[in-house]
Chain A
């Protein structure tokens, strides 16, 4: 599994709940049905109030996002237990979320599904980067480097959850490590 990702950053503030990540009206889509998995991605972050977020995460009528890296403030993913949330982000092409803190169930769902690397920042980043900035996330070094300023920010190493996401989620990890039968 690649240890670094380069791409555009999408920036959100504190307390982005699962309704903002994937609005409830799209929970009629079943993530294990391939075509519906794709459609979930097209609605990722569609619940952000347009007054606060003028740039959409996914362009109208697009299936995927041009932003591979999400930067957030405190308590990202709070609210419901819907696994549709990390799946929508993953389906849209996002690989990593860097937040000051995560809600418990969202964090766990990122890892169980293997859709996203949920990385906990050591300092507040969402006020110093802007949507559209180019950046590289290095999971081994646990850093994010902003290209235009060449500034490097650190985050907490993923530790035990990293190999689970690397493997593609809980089941693959459990099989690879012999915890459940192949």
Chain B
């Protein structure tokens, strides 16, 4: 069996499964957020009763992150709905925006959107926060009301996005009927060259198979090249399985996985035991492809879908209006470090926005010094508009007052986020080009799509 098949078999209590089997799978963690949580809670109460209790309060993780720093009153209310539910249920893992468990959340627009407006427990973007707060463990099943839940496949677990109704069902029963997907294998060899990032790897793969090329399928990334990828790299790759239509992505377990997970579960006091899955001999794949990491180049996915792959060099000269770094896939510390390495000592020539995924990442950037100045300061010096209000922000547009949102037609934005469908970052007549943080930085410096190697080597 493949990694995904073994995981699902275990979670369903079966010795053997094959693609196409429908299984009742036990969830180890159910995650929800402010956009889908209130609807999920609504389904749960409607179907199980207003006094119903969730199946296991220690397995529900609630992370407000989408529409937080907005004056939109319905969005502020949605965070309050989560807080009331958490109180009623006694759920321990709730990463609230505010510190007062009896309070209500209201964004203060008068303070502007750059200075932090959250309390001590706020965790930022759910997919980045889940591993950092010790909620991803090898061998487990993670279900989340967000399509990018597949990011946790980096940790050798089965993780997939589900809707509110399915999530309401899981809240009440702890299980869900899932079909075992066929597995596509991407065998990684070699290692990436300087200036090339994990985002280039996944954009290359999506370009190869097409942006519905993995629909209903698992994407397994394995081979000797995996060892050279950091956990951040693996998260970037797994995050975008959904952009090829994938049900989940999965990486093998290795020493790096163990080191990360052990450190984060110990620090946060979350469950620390886990049982990784290993590949069997004789795995059956529906598709196999070898990716030579050495040969990858800075890659861009052109408007309007993540499968429109071009090399950054092929697009040289295409003028841009805006640059953006942030989101689950592109707003991690390592993403901002590469972004800053390219920008350091230079000035951007187009509007450039930076939104760290989590408050921990804000702290990393504000507490790490390069030649006496923090990375944060270097980014400000380069002309980047950096916000401390970590979250999903303009990656998905959001309410009109969202930081970095594209509110004008005709804007071309290069972005380290994960989607570029029409209107994804705001105005539906704008265009988004997906690229690595290094390529976004190089392009922000020239105002045109630019291969970062041209600047790093200079």
Residues of A whose CB lies within 8 Å of any CB of B are 15, 17, 19-20, 23-25, 27-33, 36, 47-51, 74-75, 78-84, 101, 103-105, 108-109, 112-113, 169-171, 174, 180
Contact = CB atoms under 8 A, between A and B. Distances in A.
Given A30-B81, A74-B212, A75-B215, A169 B67 contact: no
A105 B428 contact: no
Contact of A113 (B67, B165, B212, B422): B165
A28 B78 contact: yes
B429 interface: yes
B298 interface: no
B58 to A, nearest CB: 23
Contacts of B81: 30
Contacts of B67: 27-28
A51 B410 CA distance: 12
Contacts of B399: 25, 28
Main secondary structure of the interface of A (DSSP, over half): loop
A84 B43 CA distance: 13
A79 B421 contact: yes
Contacts, number: 142
Chain B interface: which size bin? 35 or more
B38 interface: yes
Nearest to B35: A27
A13 to B, nearest CB: 11
Interface stretch (B156-164, B249-257, B360-368, B444-452): B156-164
A143 B216 CA distance: 25
B164 A47 contact: no
A33 B41 CA distance: 11
A32 B39 contact: yes
Contacts of A20: 421-423, 428
Contact of A31 (B39, B72, B161, B429): B39
Name the prevailing secondary structure of the B interface residues.
loop
B147 A79 contact: yes
Contacts of A79: 147, 242, 419, 421
Interface of B: 35-36, 38-39, 41-43, 46-47, 66-67, 72, 74-75, 78, 81, 145-147, 149, 161-166, 168-169, 173, 211-212, 215-216, 242, 245, 247, 304-305, 396-400, 419, 421-424, 428-429
Nearest to A114: B165
A15 B243 CA distance: 11
A51 B215 CA distance: 29
Contact of B42 (A23, A27, A32): A32
A48 B146 CA distance: 22
A27 B212 contact: no
A109 B163 contact: yes
B422 A32 contact: no
A94 to B, nearest CB: 17
Given A103-B212, A112-B166, A80 B78 contact: no
Nearest to B145: A81
B192 to A, nearest CB: 28
B75 A81 contact: no
29 contacts: A15-B304, A17-B419, A17-B422, A19-B423, A20-B422, A24-B396, A25-B397, A25-B398, A28-B72, A29-B74, A31-B164, A32-B46, A47-B423, A49-B423, A51-B429, A74-B212, A79-B421, A80-B147, A81-B145, A82-B36, A83-B163, A83-B165, A103-B212, A104-B216, A108-B163, A112-B166, A113-B163, A171-B43, A171-B168
Contacts of A171: 43, 47, 165, 168-169
A148 B89 CA distance: 57
Given A27-B67, A84-B39, 5 more contacts: A19-B397, A29-B74, A47-B422, A51-B429, A81-B161
A83 B161 contact: no
Contact of A24 (B38, B74, B398): B398
A56 to B, nearest CB: 12
Nearest to A110: B163
A112 B165 contact: yes
Nearest to B210: A75
Contacts of B146: 80-81
Contacts of A105: 147, 161-163
